[in-house]
Structures are given as structure tokens and as C-alpha cells.
A and B are shown apart, each in its own frame.
Chain A
């Protein structure tokens, strides 16, 4: 732990020296970096250059995770993102966990190499443990094994879970998790299915 802190400090120092000498302040550097990026990417397939245009949350979250946001800024991000969540008109938040499992396994979607006609996946397993059966899971996010078993399926839990999938930053500013509904990655039905994967008592997540 101690060595890690130390290494980080040395690292920060190097970065500071590098920054200091180049004669640009932080904001100028960010501006220049964006200009350079805009000149360094080609549109390809469905990935157009407008993907480099950051929204407010993306701008504020472009920082090392060790650098904490001021409380009011974090609260502002969460408030704005919470307001973006659209719950299904039919009021039903849980779909089919079997479909949800498929969506959780699939990592395709939105890459310049992907066919935009094929529905995107959520790639949950890339970052989370879900069912016990899938041993190939990532650890960037917390384990979601027994997610529903531990929380139940009350209306409040359903709303929170669907909302978290829809827009993770409504609850945690600068979360690493994609905002699947907000950014149009998943359809409403797909988000219902993923919610069911997490909450349905029959889902492998809750066995």
C-alpha cells in the first residue's frame, strides 16, 4: 500500500515537471489535446468525428480517478444525469433474464468495425461477475452475483436497477459504466432484460 502511494507520488511529480516545462496551463493543454485529437482521427463506419465532442459529464470526468471531484460538481453531474432517465411507458421494468444473459455476454456494438444493424450488447461480463457459471468475468466493476437475492424485487429496487443501467452517472458521477439508455446503446426492451437478469429470482445471477 505504502509503496503504491509512493510510486503514484513519483509519477505525479514526473507529470508535473513535464507539464510545467511546456509552458501551457492545464486548460490550454486540454484545449490543445482536443485539437490534436480532432486532426488525428478518421471517421470510419458508424464512428463519426462527433464522438470526440464531449458532453459536460465527459469533460468533467476526464481526469485521473485519484483526483476527486468537488462535492457540488459531482452532485451537479448526478442531478443532470438523473433527469435524463426515461422509464418505460408501460411501467414494467423486468423483461426476460434469458435475453438479458445474452446481452450481458455480448460485447459488440458501436465500434467502427460493428454492423450498426446488429443490436449492441451490454458486455456486462467484461467488468462484472454475474452468474457463477461464467468463469470468464472481469473485475473493473463489483461482483453482481446474487444481486437480486440480496436486494429483493421491490418497486424501488427495480427503479434503481433499471435507472442504473439507463444512466449510471445519475447515481455515481464519473462512473466507469457506460450510460446504456442515455447514450442509446441498449433499447428499452434490452434494459428490461438486463434488469431481469439482475433481479429475477429465476436468473442464474440469483442461484
Chain B
């Protein structure tokens, strides 16, 4: 009964669009997105993140200012455009969030379990990772994506990530590729980026993290992967897991050459 009412609304919408609209649904949605961009609540997370970065915390009462994100201790500007990367001190490839866990444990003395207690925020229960990532990534805005595959482990991560991208599984037989390997497709009314082509990978990767208006939260790339797999009907992707780093390496590398443009705002 209620659904019928909703359907009727959509029906009316369709009729109105067909007859009287001066502009297409696509043009109206573009207008909607433009209006959103005029003020991005991600800024609220960026401000919190910068304060968190500088705040002395944890058993060692230290800030994260000595954290090496790949360009030297404390160098934040442009660092995200080169992540994920191999870190010799950990002898592995890390994405931003994984590196932050590393710094929180080594510099601030947090136990991993404590540092990762809340990886995705909900309302006033905020995630430090989302705040930190908002600020750190904002310091790469405009910087050209440049993820290297110089180290063997970086190349391996890319290669594994590619395999995972095409991995079909679960009750729905979905892979990342099911929705993201053809150009010009959409799900419902949402355009789907083709992540197997440069333009699509660049557009998608450079616009995360993003403030999701549907959730009223700032979400990072770790969240993006987690929620894609949820909708793929997979089990839950572990935060900062090796698979998440491999997939991120695959997608970030494919975005090389594009100017980083996040935190963004999305539906």
C-alpha cells in the first residue's frame, strides 16, 4: 500500500518530466551535485583531524606529528597522492589508515585493538581515522596522483588487488568488476565509474574520502571498499586488512596522473 503510494509519486514524477521539464533528469542531478559542492561538511572533519594530529595522546602522550606517511616524519602535504606505498620500517605496503594504525601504536603507544575500536563513525561517536584522513587527504588536494610500483611488494599488492577486483563470489556472483568494468553504465540513477579504464579510475579514486549526504558522515576509501563488499554479499572486509590494501593499491595506481580532489561530497 505504501509502496504503491511511492510508485505513484515516481509515476507522477515521470509524467511531469516527460511533459513539462525544461531540462533533463541528468541536468537536474548535475545541478543538485553542484549545489552540494558549495559547502562541504567534510571541512568539519578536516578541522577535527588537524587538531587530532597535533594532540598529545595515548600511553606515550605523543602527537602524530612525527608520523612518517612516506615523505618523511611529519610531512603531510602531498603524501596521500603517493599512497599506498612500501614502508621499510614495517616491511610491508600500507595505505593511509594502515599507516595511521602503525603510528598510533609505535608513536602514541596505543594497542592495535584500542586504536581500531571505532574505525567508522556514527553520529557523535566519531572515528579518529575519518577525521585524520579528512585532514591528511585535504593536504593533497590538487596534487597529481603518483603511486609507484618500484618495490616488489608494491607490485605484488597491485597484482593481487587486480585479481580481487575480478573475483566473483557469494550468493549473487558479484565481483567489483560486475558493476565497475564497463563505461556508461549506471545502477538505478547513479553513474558507475569504469575502474578498468584510466578516466574512470581517476574520477572515482580522486574523489574519496567523501562526505556522504546519505549518511551525514565522512567516509574514507577503507569504508568505500567495506561497503562495496557488503553490497556484493561478501563477508565483512577487515579494516586495514591485506586485501583492502591490495585493492587500494590497484585502484590508486590506476588513478595515476590525475589531480587528487578530495575530500569530496557525494550522495
Contacts and interface: CB of A to CB of B under 8 A. Distances in A.
Complex A–B touching at CB under 8 A:
yes
A44 B234 CA distance: 9
A21 B155 contact: yes
A36 B159 contact: no
A41 B238 contact: yes
Give the contact-size bracket for chain A. 35 or more
Interface string A85-117: 000000000000000011001000011110000
B82 to A, nearest CB: 17
A48 B235 contact: yes
B169 A176 contact: no
Contacts of A139: 184-186
Contacts of A111: 230-231, 233
Interface stretch (A51-59, A144-152, A192-200): A51-59
A204 B233 CA distance: 30
Interface string B178-193: 1101111111110010
B254 A11 contact: yes
Contact of B163 (A30, A49, A127): A30
Given A43-B235, A110-B171, A18 B162 contact: yes
A140 B187 contact: yes
A8 B196 CA distance: 8
A145 to B, nearest CB: 12
A159 to B, nearest CB: 22
Given A15-B162, A32-B160, A37-B164, A132 B14 contact: yes
Interface stretch (B84-92, B126-134, B213-221, B242-250): B242-250
Interface in A6-46: 7-8, 10-11, 14-15, 17-19, 21-24, 29-30, 32-34, 36-37, 39-44
Contacts of B189: 135-138
A91 B243 CA distance: 46
Contact of A138 (B169, B174, B187): B187
A8 to B, nearest CB: 7
Nearest to B172: A178
Interface in B1-26: 3, 7, 10-11, 13-14, 17, 25
Interface residues of B, number: 61
Between A40, A64, A185, the greatest number of chain B beta carbons within 10 A of the residue's beta carbon is seen for A40
A154 B237 CA distance: 46
A5 to B, nearest CB: 11
B156 A179 contact: no
Contacts of A30: 163
B104 interface: no
B36 interface: no
Contact of A40 (B171, B186, B188, B241): B241
Interface in B128-153: 149, 152
Contacts of A178: 171-174
A178 to B, nearest CB: 4
Interface of B: 3, 7, 10-11, 13-14, 17, 25, 149, 152, 155-156, 158-160, 162-164, 166-175, 177-179, 181-189, 192, 196-199, 229-231, 233-238, 241-244, 246, 253-254
17 contacts: A11-B198, A18-B149, A18-B162, A21-B152, A33-B160, A36-B246, A37-B243, A51-B171, A58-B168, A58-B173, A64-B177, A64-B181, A64-B196, A105-B3, A110-B172, A126-B188, A140-B185
